[in-house]
Amino acid sequence: RISLGHPDRAAERELLAGADRREMLAHLPALLDAGELLALQQRVQQVHASGALLDYLQDLIAATRSGRWFLQGLSPRAGISVLRAAKAQALLAGRDYVAPDDIQAVLPQTVAHRVTPVGDAGRGAQEQVRAMIAAVPLP
Protein backbone atom coordinates (compact mmCIF):
# COMPACT_ATOMS: atom_id res chain seq x y z
CA ARG A 1 0.00 0.00 0.00
CA ILE A 2 1.29 3.42 -0.92
CA SER A 3 0.13 6.53 0.87
CA LEU A 4 -0.25 9.45 -1.49
CA GLY A 5 -1.10 11.93 1.23
CA HIS A 6 -3.74 14.58 0.75
CA PRO A 7 -4.23 16.66 -2.39
CA ASP A 8 -3.36 20.34 -2.39
CA ARG A 9 -6.20 22.77 -1.81
CA ALA A 10 -6.89 23.41 -5.51
CA ALA A 11 -7.02 19.70 -6.39
CA GLU A 12 -9.25 18.99 -3.40
CA ARG A 13 -11.57 21.80 -4.52
CA GLU A 14 -11.85 20.20 -7.97
CA LEU A 15 -12.78 16.89 -6.36
CA LEU A 16 -15.34 18.52 -4.09
CA ALA A 17 -16.80 20.48 -6.99
CA GLY A 18 -17.43 17.23 -8.78
CA ALA A 19 -14.50 17.02 -11.18
CA ASP A 20 -14.54 13.58 -12.77
CA ARG A 21 -11.44 11.68 -11.65
CA ARG A 22 -11.49 9.61 -14.82
CA GLU A 23 -11.33 12.81 -16.85
CA MET A 24 -8.46 14.09 -14.69
CA LEU A 25 -6.57 10.81 -15.23
CA ALA A 26 -7.12 10.96 -18.98
CA HIS A 27 -4.81 13.98 -19.14
CA LEU A 28 -1.86 12.26 -17.45
CA PRO A 29 0.89 11.26 -19.88
CA ALA A 30 1.68 7.54 -20.15
CA LEU A 31 5.13 6.59 -18.87
CA LEU A 32 5.04 3.09 -20.36
CA ASP A 33 3.02 1.44 -23.06
CA ALA A 34 1.44 -1.99 -22.53
CA GLY A 35 4.34 -3.81 -24.22
CA GLU A 36 6.94 -2.08 -22.05
CA LEU A 37 4.97 -2.90 -18.92
CA LEU A 38 4.68 -6.56 -19.92
CA ALA A 39 8.43 -6.71 -20.63
CA LEU A 40 9.19 -5.27 -17.17
CA GLN A 41 6.85 -7.78 -15.53
CA GLN A 42 8.65 -10.60 -17.32
CA ARG A 43 12.04 -9.25 -16.22
CA VAL A 44 10.82 -9.13 -12.62
CA GLN A 45 9.84 -12.82 -12.84
CA GLN A 46 13.42 -13.65 -13.87
CA VAL A 47 14.98 -12.05 -10.76
CA HIS A 48 16.52 -14.82 -8.63
CA ALA A 49 15.64 -15.49 -4.99
CA SER A 50 18.09 -17.86 -3.29
CA GLY A 51 17.08 -20.61 -0.91
CA ALA A 52 18.55 -18.63 2.00
CA LEU A 53 16.51 -15.60 0.99
CA LEU A 54 13.32 -17.69 0.82
CA ASP A 55 14.14 -19.07 4.29
CA TYR A 56 14.47 -15.49 5.55
CA LEU A 57 11.12 -14.54 4.04
CA GLN A 58 9.53 -17.61 5.62
CA ASP A 59 11.06 -16.63 8.98
CA LEU A 60 9.49 -13.18 8.67
CA ILE A 61 6.12 -14.66 7.72
CA ALA A 62 6.35 -17.07 10.67
CA ALA A 63 7.12 -14.13 12.97
CA THR A 64 3.85 -12.49 11.90
CA ARG A 65 2.05 -15.67 12.94
CA SER A 66 3.74 -15.98 16.35
CA GLY A 67 1.18 -13.82 18.16
CA ARG A 68 3.92 -11.55 19.49
CA TRP A 69 3.55 -8.84 16.86
CA PHE A 70 0.14 -9.16 15.19
CA LEU A 71 -3.32 -10.51 15.92
CA GLN A 72 -3.27 -12.63 12.78
CA GLY A 73 -0.30 -13.64 10.66
CA LEU A 74 0.33 -13.40 6.96
CA SER A 75 -0.97 -15.93 4.48
CA PRO A 76 1.17 -17.73 1.90
CA ARG A 77 -0.41 -15.46 -0.72
CA ALA A 78 0.88 -12.42 1.18
CA GLY A 79 4.34 -13.99 1.09
CA ILE A 80 4.09 -14.33 -2.68
CA SER A 81 3.16 -10.64 -2.92
CA VAL A 82 6.13 -9.66 -0.78
CA LEU A 83 8.49 -11.74 -2.92
CA ARG A 84 7.16 -10.20 -6.15
CA ALA A 85 7.57 -6.70 -4.74
CA ALA A 86 11.10 -7.54 -3.54
CA LYS A 87 12.01 -8.84 -7.00
CA ALA A 88 10.78 -5.58 -8.53
CA GLN A 89 12.78 -3.64 -5.93
CA ALA A 90 15.90 -5.62 -6.84
CA LEU A 91 15.37 -5.00 -10.56
CA LEU A 92 14.96 -1.27 -9.93
CA ALA A 93 18.25 -1.39 -8.01
CA GLY A 94 19.92 -2.93 -11.06
CA ARG A 95 20.27 -6.46 -9.69
CA ASP A 96 19.11 -9.82 -10.99
CA TYR A 97 18.82 -11.28 -7.47
CA VAL A 98 16.86 -10.42 -4.33
CA ALA A 99 18.80 -9.31 -1.26
CA PRO A 100 17.49 -9.21 2.32
CA ASP A 101 17.44 -5.40 2.02
CA ASP A 102 14.84 -5.73 -0.74
CA ILE A 103 12.56 -7.77 1.52
CA GLN A 104 13.06 -5.32 4.36
CA ALA A 105 12.32 -2.34 2.10
CA VAL A 106 9.04 -3.64 0.70
CA LEU A 107 7.63 -5.65 3.61
CA PRO A 108 6.15 -2.75 5.65
CA GLN A 109 4.36 -1.22 2.66
CA THR A 110 3.30 -4.56 1.23
CA VAL A 111 1.71 -6.05 4.35
CA ALA A 112 0.72 -3.18 6.66
CA HIS A 113 -2.88 -3.29 5.42
CA ARG A 114 -3.02 -7.05 6.13
CA VAL A 115 -1.96 -7.02 9.79
CA THR A 116 -3.22 -5.55 13.07
CA PRO A 117 -0.60 -4.93 15.77
CA VAL A 118 -1.08 -6.77 19.06
CA GLY A 119 -2.31 -4.62 21.94
CA ASP A 120 -1.55 -0.95 22.16
CA ALA A 121 2.04 -0.96 21.04
CA GLY A 122 1.84 2.78 20.45
CA ARG A 123 2.79 2.37 16.81
CA GLY A 124 1.05 1.74 13.53
CA ALA A 125 1.23 -1.40 11.46
CA GLN A 126 4.21 -0.27 9.36
CA GLU A 127 6.21 0.62 12.46
CA GLN A 128 5.31 -2.72 14.04
CA VAL A 129 6.45 -4.54 10.88
CA ARG A 130 9.77 -2.66 11.02
CA ALA A 131 10.21 -3.62 14.68
CA MET A 132 9.53 -7.26 13.80
CA ILE A 133 12.05 -7.13 10.94
CA ALA A 134 14.69 -5.86 13.36
CA ALA A 135 14.02 -8.83 15.65
CA VAL A 136 14.30 -11.53 12.96
CA PRO A 137 17.90 -12.63 12.28
CA LEU A 138 19.29 -12.12 8.79
CA PRO A 139 20.27 -15.19 6.75
Task: Summarize pLDDT for 93-120 with one digit per residue, the tens.
Answer: 999 999 999 999 999 999 988 998 887 6
Nearest Cα residue to 116 out of 64, 79, 80, 61: 64
pLDDT in tens, 35-53: 999 999 999 999 999 999 9
* pLDDT greater than 90 at residue 83: yes
Q: What is the CATH number of domain 9-135?
A: 1.10.8.80
pLDDT of residue 56: 98
| pTM of the predicted protein model | 0.80
Question: Smallest Cα–Cα separation from 111: which of 70, 50, 139?
Answer: 70
Helix/strand/coil for 117: strand
Per-domain boundaries in the chain: 9-135
